[in-house]
Structure 1
Amino acid sequence: MPLVLPMVRLKRFFLPILISALLVAVIFGSGRRLRSLSSNTIAHDNGNSTLQTVQTTISGLFPWSFSADRDDDEMALDEPNGMPSFVSSKIKSDGSLDLSEIPPHCRDPYRVPGYLYVPENKHYLHTQWIPFLDTNFLDVPDPKSAEYPTDVIPFFTDAPPPDTFIERSPHNWFAELYNYRNILKHADEAANGKREKLSLSDSQQRLFRRLNWIHNRRVLVLGDSVDRIMIQFFCEDYESHAHFTQGSFGGQHTTYNCHIPSVNLTISHWHVASLYPMRPSWWWLDHIRLVAFEDRFEKLFKPVWDKVIGMNGQTPDLIIFQSGLWDERAFRESSRNFKYPEDEKLSKEQLEKKMSERRKSGLGKEGRQLAWDELVFFKSRMAKFMRYLREKFGAQTPMLYRSLTTRRDSNVADLATINMDRISRLIAQREGVEIFEWARLTSGFSDQYMDYLHVGRGPLSATWGNMMLYYLFRASGGINFNGTIERYPDFSGNYLVEGKGAINVPVFNVKENPDVSVNNFWAECHAYNVFWGGR
């Protein structure tokens, strides 16, 4: 024993130091790869159990299996549904992809770092997302003001980005649709004798070429009032009016349609009243009789199903969905209103006092993370929700999870939202769903909110519209890359007749068969854009 005890003490003393040193080497390493650390070091150790323990510790911290037939930077992850192995193997630990492996035309400009340019002296229609990667921002020459050494104080102007950066950014479909609709409106009024005929200029003819694809499209958005208000603003920007279609089932928390007649474009909103699987007796809004998404689909959404059928005659052309804010409220209310056996013995005054206390502490208070039980519940229901959408609309329907927005003055109250967004991102990757990163692009613009929770009309609503139209264009068969339109969707019709309200009208060759691009083109770049992206 006297000889053993010092050795045991030495192991207890040196083992934590050795583990810490190795972990520091892993994280901040000097060029050595993690795999070579965890395998080569062990190989030279001749079976030392201490280093075997270190290897186990490292593998527990990093939940990826390492394969000898891959490059050092590649990790073998579970492959998300519908993702080929050569793509999923490029997903890194931070949720990103090796951009060099993505075909340039498949790189999503809204999912790479960039700058939201909000022009000071122009209409918010001209708001522009400028991706740093596609515009080669990192190659911009260093200014003299950044030189060292110097005794000159840097001076900066409020000049807009150079036109070359705007031109290489994602196409501004939002502004173009506005101009296109105005031309159609002018021609329609001229055809009815209210205005003179419109003679299309060369630029207007090119505009017709670019916007022909947008006719007859259907977009379905499942979410809450944040989404519904964006649809409302979108509709009003094109002088149309959205309306509720199922008010008897819960007022504004039902179904909502925005229809733009000039292009026969419809954007529908189906309200998701959290992911709770039933309606608790304590539900805070009496007029909402259906809560579970399964019940709402069967009894609330089916009657308006025909409104969301797109060009393929079967499904919407694009689906955007999310759930979070209502879940956050439901979790708090669940704790506040839970009926404990001892509550039955309390007087009305005592029960009200206890309810008041529950609002300030424990799971009933606002401004906390989700409890582990809540997180597991949300994970389960969100996964079922995504699979349910796939079951109802088919695996080929273009679908995006809309990242969750935070409150105007983001603080501890947003912790639960952040929890739910993180797990939803990972589930989306596993289920083969891409992400609509509008929340990231809008983060920090608190002056653009209309209240404590909802984004207002302006640059951020225009960005939502631009992103929605970008994905709809891609779902319809188009390719917009590096500021240019590389491919147009199939023409679906001639929507302006020569001489009837307008002259110099371009004529397009319309395919005999209906457009079914929703089933053909999304998959082309889909696998390269299924990654959770981190938080």
Structure 2
Amino acid sequence: MSRTNPIIRFLQVLALLVCVVLLLRWSANNDKPASEWHVSKWLAPNPTNRVKLPPDCDPYAELGHLFTADKLHDSRYIIYNDHTLPGVHDAPGEDWVVPSLTSAIHEHKYVELDFLRNRTVLMIGDSIDRNLVTHFGRRGLAGTHGYHKLFEPPDHARIATPKLESHKIGMAHLPELNFTVYNWFLMGLAVQQEVPFFHPREDLPQEFEHKLETSYLPLLRAHLIPKPDLIIFNTGFWDLEYLARTRLAAFNLPDVQPREKEAPTGRNIINLGDGNPLSLTELAYHRLRLRRFIKLLIDSLKLIYGGAHQQNSNYLDRPIPLMYRSMQLGNATLTNAFAAERIHQLEESNRLVLKEFDIQVIEWGKMTIGLDSQLDDPSIHYGIGSVQYIFGDMMLFYLKRLISGTKDEWVGCDWIRNRRLRYRI
């Protein structure tokens, strides 16, 4: 038998040693107790030690609850943490308190907030979104030169504006950083033709295609509103009412409450006449309309901002990031079109379409659970409080993550990525 070349034998021994070292390192890391991943390990006092944000890290998607403070700007989302303290195996670790970027605005920490400079967020939805923008402008920007007002295009632009003041474009603006949040109001997505029984005080036609083309998209084409850095949209409550009224009108059922008989504010709606679950046909129809809306919005944005290279690209390639705001359950009665079962049905149906387009959900709806005491308008509108306040924090977090190339918004995300739960018998 011929002897092995000494060089080959040396390389074999070296390879064996490398394998042993790697195996030992893996074993040591894999056997770390839970206390090694305690939150305090990652909270470096020096902010320059922040780590990159993992792509799957979303503090607002973690399990926790919304802390409702006596002072609005002390409201925070708290993440539960059962990791034990180092050396104290029976004591739970400290829960995470997600930092508030809205509070940073209130405290004039503009260096920390420089990512907001010359940025624009656009929200498309109903009165819930309108109120969120109003609340952010009046309370989130409190203590600054910020404000909320209605946006009116110049007369020479000849762009149609909604007739109802509550349906006009709102804007929250922070002059210190030239940061603006706009809201565009839509009567849901379900309407496909003029339906006077639905909302006679609203301009006709009511379908979203007409509203976008006559009142909203021209503002972007004429650069009267800056190119948004993020678009957040929602649809739900108007669709639920439209589907309920359509069903009642189609079958000539009683208890249809025409809106022309309501008070001018529209706040006398207690029972829309049909709280029965949505049918599979109604849900499928609404998904078709939601797909139509998303495609129309993306196609329009590509024509305005995308350039020739994006004209024929797919719907996952879009010039502006899109996100969806989840719905809240509210506290409507079981006979109301806004009954919780119907809301849940529509929300789950919407999420199927969102998955197709790879659109992330801002889980604001879960923040509202158990906080019906903050409702100030029969069943779905929230007043001043932590429910509306926390949305500002969520919006700013996702905007910062989109803008920040290093994605280093929150040091706690490294803990979320690396946590390992170990239970000792």
Q: TM-score, normalised by structure 1?
A: 0.54
Residue 356 in structure 1 maps to residue 254 in structure 2: yes
Q: In structure 1, what is the equivalent of residue 297 of structure 2?
A: 389
Matches within 5 A, 1:305-344: 305=220, 306-309=223-226, 315-338=227-250
Contact 1:249 1:300 in 2 (8 A): no
* Separation of aligned partners in 2, 1:482 and 1:131: 13
Contact 2:331 2:340 in 1 (8 A): no
Deviations 1:1-32, CA, capped at 9 Å, x for gaps = xxxxxxxxxxxxxxxxxxxxxxxxxxxxxxxx
Residue 229 in structure 1 maps to residue 118 in structure 2: no
* Separation of aligned partners in 2, 1:453 and 1:459: 15
How far apart are residue 355 of structure 1 and its match? Answer: 4.9
Residue 437 in structure 1 maps to residue 363 in structure 2: yes
In structure 2, the CA distance between the partners of 1:408 and 1:244, relative to structure 1 (3 Å rule), is: farther
Residue 117 of structure 1 is aligned with which of 67, 74, 90?
67
Residue 241 in structure 1 maps to residue 115 in structure 2: no
Contact 2:53 2:413 in 1 (8 A): no
Q: In structure 1, what is the equivalent of residue 404 of structure 2?
A: 477
How far apart are residue 258 of structure 1 and its match? Answer: 2.1
Matches within 5 A, 1:33-432: 104=54, 106-120=56-70, 123-132=71-80, 136-139=81-84, 165-166=96-97, 169=98, 171-180=99-108, 207-237=109-139, 238=141, 239-245=146-152, 247-275=161-189, 276-305=191-220, 306-309=223-226, 315-338=227-250, 355-356=253-254, 365-394=273-302, 395-408=318-331, 413-432=339-358
Residue 373 of structure 2 is aligned with which of 447, 468, 471?
447
SS at match of 1:428: helix
How far apart are residue 393 of structure 1 and its match? Answer: 2.5
Residue type at the aligned position of 2:105: L
* Separation of aligned partners in 2, 1:208 and 1:416: 43
Deviations 1:109-155, CA, capped at 9 Å, x for gaps = 112212222234xx2212111233xxx435467868x9xxxxxxxxx
Q: What is the percent sequence identity of the aligned residues? A: 23
Contact 1:220 1:308 in 2 (8 A): no
SS at match of 1:137: coil
In structure 2, the CA distance between the partners of 1:265 and 1:328, relative to structure 1 (3 Å rule), is: same
In structure 2, the CA distance between the partners of 1:331 and 1:119, relative to structure 1 (3 Å rule), is: same
* Separation of aligned partners in 2, 1:485 and 1:240: 32
Residue type at the aligned position of 2:320: T
In structure 2, the CA distance between the partners of 1:220 and 1:143, relative to structure 1 (3 Å rule), is: same
Contact 2:53 2:409 in 1 (8 A): no
* Separation of aligned partners in 1, 2:58 and 2:334: 30
SS at match of 2:254: helix
Q: In structure 2, what is the equivalent of residue 456 of structure 1?
A: 383
How far apart are residue 224 of structure 1 and its match? Answer: 0.5
Residue type at the aligned position of 1:407: G
Deviations 1:363-383, CA, capped at 9 Å, x for gaps = x83222112221110011111
* Separation of aligned partners in 2, 1:283 and 1:409: 19
Residue type at the aligned position of 1:112: E
In structure 2, the CA distance between the partners of 1:316 and 1:119, relative to structure 1 (3 Å rule), is: same
Residue type at the aligned position of 2:237: L
In structure 2, the CA distance between the partners of 1:256 and 1:179, relative to structure 1 (3 Å rule), is: same
Deviations 1:248-284, CA, capped at 9 Å, x for gaps = 5443224222222222111111111121222223232
* Separation of aligned partners in 1, 2:77 and 2:181: 23
SS at match of 1:356: coil
Q: What stretches of structure 1 of length at least 5 have no aligned partner?
A: 1-101, 147-160, 181-206, 310-314, 341-353, 487-535
Q: Which runs of 4+ in 1 moved over 6 A?
A: 140-144
Residue type at the aligned position of 1:446: D
SS at match of 1:405: coil
How far apart are residue 229 of structure 1 and its match? Answer: 0.6
SS at match of 1:115: strand
Q: TM-score, normalised by structure 2?
A: 0.66
How far apart are residue 430 of structure 1 and its match? Answer: 1.1
Deviations 1:326-364, CA, capped at 9 Å, x for gaps = 0011111112333x7xxxxxxxxxxxxx653567xxxx8
Greater shift, 444-453 or 458-467, is seen at 444-453
* Separation of aligned partners in 2, 1:358 and 1:247: 29
Q: In structure 2, what is the equivalent of residue 82 of structure 1?
A: none
Q: What stretches of structure 2 of length at least 5 have no aligned partner?
A: 1-51, 153-159, 258-271, 303-317, 415-425
Contact 1:240 1:258 in 2 (8 A): yes
* Separation of aligned partners in 2, 1:248 and 1:379: 26
SS at match of 1:290: coil
Indicate the structure (1 or 2) with the bigger Cα radius of gyration: 1
* Separation of aligned partners in 1, 2:409 and 2:175: 29
How far apart are residue 481 of structure 1 and its match? Answer: 5.1
Contact 2:161 2:215 in 1 (8 A): no
